[in-house]
Amino acid sequence: MRSDIAKKGIPAAPNRSLFYALGYTKEELERPLIGIVSSYNEIIPGHMNLDKIAEAVKAGVLAAGGTPIVFPAIAVCDGIAMGHIGMKYSLVTRDLIADSTEAMAMAHQFDGLVMIPNCDKNVPGLLMAAARVNIPTIFVSGGPMLAGKLTDGRRTCLSHMFEAVGSYYAGKLDEAGVEEYENNACPTCGSCSGMYTANSMNCLTEAIGMGLRGNGTIPAVYSARLRLAKHAGMQVMDLVRKNIRPRDIMTPAAFHNAETVDMALGCSTNTMLHLPAIAHECGIELDLDMSNEISAKTPNLCHLAPAGDTFMEDLEQAGGVYAVMAELTKKNLLDTSVLTVTGKTMGENLQGVVNRDPSIIRPIDNPYSADGGIAVLKGNLAPEGCVVKRSAVAPEMMVHEGPARVFDSEEDAIAAIYAGKIVAGDVVVIRYEGPKGGPGMREMLNPTSAIVGMGLGSSVALITDGRFSGATRGASIGHVCPEAAQGGPIAFVEEGDHIAIDIQANTITLKVDEDTLAARKAAWVCPEPKIKTGYLARYAKQVTSAARGAVLE
C-alpha cells in the first residue's frame, strides 16, 4: 500500500506512535488509509450538512475494509461574498484548496481519497488536487438546495432574490416584497437550487466520470444523498484495489464529454474557467475555440434557473445527468468507452437509463436550441475570446448594438444602474475586474441582477473582464480577454463608443477604427494595482488569462 511508507517496519515506528496517539489501532493501520476531504463549515448553506456526508462516507469506507481519516478544505460562499471586497477572495480559493489538499494528501501518503465539496470553487479545486496527486479518488457532493416557494405558490430561488433588489430600486417592489424573497428564496441546506456554478460543476463531475450517478442532482435534504455518500465510501475501496486513478478517468475524451454535457445542460459560464484549469492539471490543454466546436453540434436540452423555471430537484426527478447523457448518446455525441469511478465505462453506466420527464430534459430531437448553452465570442474587443450563457439570453438580445457606458469597477457600475442612469440600448462595460486587475475576477451578479430586476434585461447588455455567477441571466458577456489590466482592447473603450454583439455569429465588435484604437493604446497607462499586499497581490503576479482558465504560473 502507498501508506506503508508511513506505517510499516522499524523505520516507521515513530510514525506509528503518532497514529496510536490519535487512537488508531494496529488493526486499523493494516488497512488502506482513506483521506476524506470534507469542506464542512458553518458559513455556507451548501456546506452546513457536509459533516453528515462525511460520517456517511466514513461508514462506507469502514464497511468496505478501509480506515477513514477526515481532514478539511476551506470554502467561500459566493452569495455572502457578493458585491464587496469579499468576492475578490472567491476564485482565488480554488488554488488554495488545490494546493492545501495536495499538501495534506502527499504529506500523509493516503492510499485513496474521497472528496466532499459542494460549492463553486471547492469542486474544481478538489478536482485539480485529484489530478495532481493522482491516487484513487471519488467525489460525492453535499447536494443541491430545494427551490423556495412564495406565499402565492410561485417557486423561487437565489437568482430571483438578487433580481428583487433591482426591482426594489426600480420602484416595482416594496420592502415587504424584498423581505418575502429573503425569507423564501433559500429554504434548505444545499448548493443554491438552479443550474448555477456549484450545481454545474457537481453535474459535470458525473459527466467527467469522477462521481457516482446522482452526485449533481440528489437534493441535500434527501436521505438518498446519505446513501450515495456511503456508496462512494465503499467504491473508493474498489478503486484502491484496482488502482484506478483520476488521470485514468479524466482523459481528453472525458473532458470532451464534460463540455458536451455542459452545453446540453446550459451550465454556468464559470465552467469555461474551471474545466481548462482541471484539464491543465491533467496535462491536457483545452481552448475556448473547442467549446464553440462542441456547442455547434450539441443541442441545449435543459432550461433550469436562471434560464427557465425549473430546478435541480426537477432534473433529479427526470433522471438526472445520466438521463441527459442518455439523450446525447442517441446522436453519438459522447464517447461512451471512457472509464469512470464505477470501474465501468460510461456506456455500461448508461444501460437502461431513460428520460423520465421530457418537459424537464428535452428529447434530443426537440431541443430548446440546436446549439449549446454557452457561446464563446471573439472580435477586436476580445481577441482571445469572451463567454456568454446563450441559453439565458432573451431572443431579442442575441443581436445587439449600443453605446458603451464605461466603468472601472463594479461599485461604480452598480451605483449608476440603481440611480437609473442606464437606459434601454446601452452596453455597460465593467473593466479592471479580471484575474489580475481585480485582482481575483469578481462575479458581477449584483449589476446583472439589477439590470434584469429593473426591467432592462431585454434591452441592455453588460460586458466585463470579470466573470458572472451561474445565477446571472441576460446578455451578460464575461471573461473578456486580454483583460484591461493586461492592456487588452477593453481598456481603450470610451464612453459612447458603439459595441456590436452577435451571439449567434459568435462575434463582439468595438466599432472604433484601428488608428484611433492604436492612439488610445499608445496613451494608455496601466492603473496602480488595487491591492498591493497579501495573498491577492501574490495571486495577481502569478495568474494567467481567463482564456487559459486563470491557472497560476
List CB contacts of 126: < 8 A, sequence separation 6 or more. 37, 39, 73, 97, 98, 101, 115, 117, 139
| H/E element, 35 | strand 33-38
- DSSP letters of 232-300? HHHHHHHHHHHT--HHHHS-HHHHHHHHHHHHHHT--TTHHHHHHHHHHHTT----HHHHHHHHHH--B
**Is 469 an active-site residue?**
yes
Name the grid cell of 9.
517496519
Backbone torsions φ then ψ of 480, nearest 5 degrees: -60, 125
Q: Which of 502, 507, 518, 269 is nearest to 400 (CA)?
A: 502
Could you give the CA distance from residue 213 to residue 319 in angstroms, rounded to a whole number?
Answer: 10
Return the SS3 of 467: strand
| H/E element, 226 | helix 223-242
Residue from 295, 459, 469, 545 carrying the catalytic annotation: 469
> How far does Cα 516 stand from its chain's mean position?
38
- C-alpha torsion sign, points 157, 162, 164, 167: negative
CA angle 364, 370, 373 (to 5 degrees): 95
Q: Which residues are catalytically annotated?
A: 469
